[in-house]
Amino acid sequence: MKGIKKLLALLLAMSMMVFAFAACSNQDASQSQNPSQDVTPSNEPADSQEPANSDAGSATGDYGEFTTVEEGKLIMSTNAAFPPYEMTSDGEGYNGTGFEGIDVEIAGAIADKLGLELHIDDMDFTASLEAAGIPFTELSDVQANPRSGKVYEGIDLVRRTGADFLLALGGGSVIDTAKAIGFGALYKGDFWDFFTGAAKIEKTLPVGVVLTISAAGSEGSDSCVITQERGNLKWGCPKTDVIRPKFAVLNPRFTCSLPAYQTASGAVDMMAHIMERYFANTPDVGLTDRLCEALLKTVLDAAPKAIADPNDYAARADLMWAGMLAHNNSCGVGREQDWASHQIEHELSAFYDCAHGAGLAVILPAWMEYVLPHDPVRLAQFAVRVFGCEMNFADPEATARQGIEKLCLFFHSLGMPITFDELGAKAKDIPDMVAHRAEKPGGFPFGGFVKIQPADMEAILRLAAGEAQ
């Protein structure tokens, strides 16, 4: 950490319950189509594309000499608020430490092996930074479906404080915000230029991640999605390895406090990431087919367990690892990919500010139904290998439809919506959603499996709304 001048930590400062509420609440369509006022940086970009090396904005002060080393002691610094792993004890706790839990016992065994006395420091994340003497500035209140305003705020903060490293603590929205701040802070113009194609991402501040939500896979991906409040445009930046995080801390216990709805929404999102790669026209991709199918079956198994028992560590671990593998392109190597469902869902969440996973639960089955005639055998393969349907060789379309039905039933079993009505969307807004998509440069056609034109997008949305094709 020696080379770090200043660290900008993006935190979900609200509780997870509040976050879940904000992520899945539905706005009136007229409200969501009237974006908030322009939010732009308060300061002009610096003359240099590099942030200034300034001590302004440090939240830590002067710590002087600090050490956690004491002779004869093994010191464990932790936030003792994660039962059954670390927690304060009502009694003396483990060997009189005042703490107990699985990790405490492991640390105790290590201390015994080394012939040392275990000492436990209970501290939160920021306290650990302060203890290590690392100056940092905190940027909080990142929203689901992350907004441009927070990116502009972060860029301004980086330039004022001289931060040279971004640490994202949270899920996909926090990570995507950090990514956008990272490449936006080193650019003299508007960061949105990278999303319109007016500029190319060539460098960024390094981003690290402490993941708290298994869902988006942004901790390993080469992209980010931001909603530009001028025009309410939910767009992704061009994919590039430049913005992949430098590291990601994946500790399943950090996800045990997630509400069921957020866990379910995350499971749908990672399934969608896999399916966007699975439904491809590329021949002879048997290996990655099986990788995709194994991951999908893992999510089918783990998600209900994690919802039934939020402290099921094994289920949480499977979901966290699956979310990473779903979107670091392990499943997409050598394949033409689709991404039509994501593009359509971006309009849903732009209009209604719904949870991304919930929107995908509505769009995915409708998209599958619409494209089924293109390659019924591939959709039937999905039904057989993922959901265990019996293959009807005389009528693969019937098998494919069984798979779609089972997918819908699974989403429903998690508490996810599968129709416009359940999501709170309105069929009357469909033409506006299609027109809104057309505002994006190169907005049509999109999709790799089937090229989606405006009429196709409207038809898929009407299927999702429950209207017959």
Q: Which residue segments constitute the domains of the chain, with CATH numbers given?
A: 7-60+134-249 (3.40.50.1970), 73-124 (3.40.190.10), 259-464 (1.20.1090.10)
pLDDT digit string (tens) for 54-98?
A: 343 333 334 344 444 578 888 888 888 777 778 898 888 888 889
Contacts of residue 425, Cβ cutoff 8 Å, sequence gap at least 6:
26, 348, 351, 352, 354, 362, 464, 465
Is the distance from CB of 166 to CB of 181 less than 8 angstroms?
Answer: yes
Within 10 angstroms of residue 61's Cβ, the number of other Cβ atoms is 9
**Least-confidence region, from 32-41, 106-115, 140-149:** 32-41
pLDDT of residue 355: 94
Q: Would you call the peptide bond into 84 cis, given omega within 30 degrees of 0 as the criterion?
A: yes
pLDDT of residue 64: 41
| 380: enclosing H helix or E strand | helix 376-387
pLDDT of residue 157: 94
What is the C-alpha separation between 149 and 137, in angstroms, rounded? 18
What is the C-alpha separation between 184 and 413, in angstroms, rounded? 41
pTM for this model (two decimals): 0.79
pLDDT digit string (tens) for 321-378?
A: 999 999 999 999 999 999 999 999 999 999 999 999 999 999 999 999 999 999 999 9
Mean pLDDT of 433-452: 95
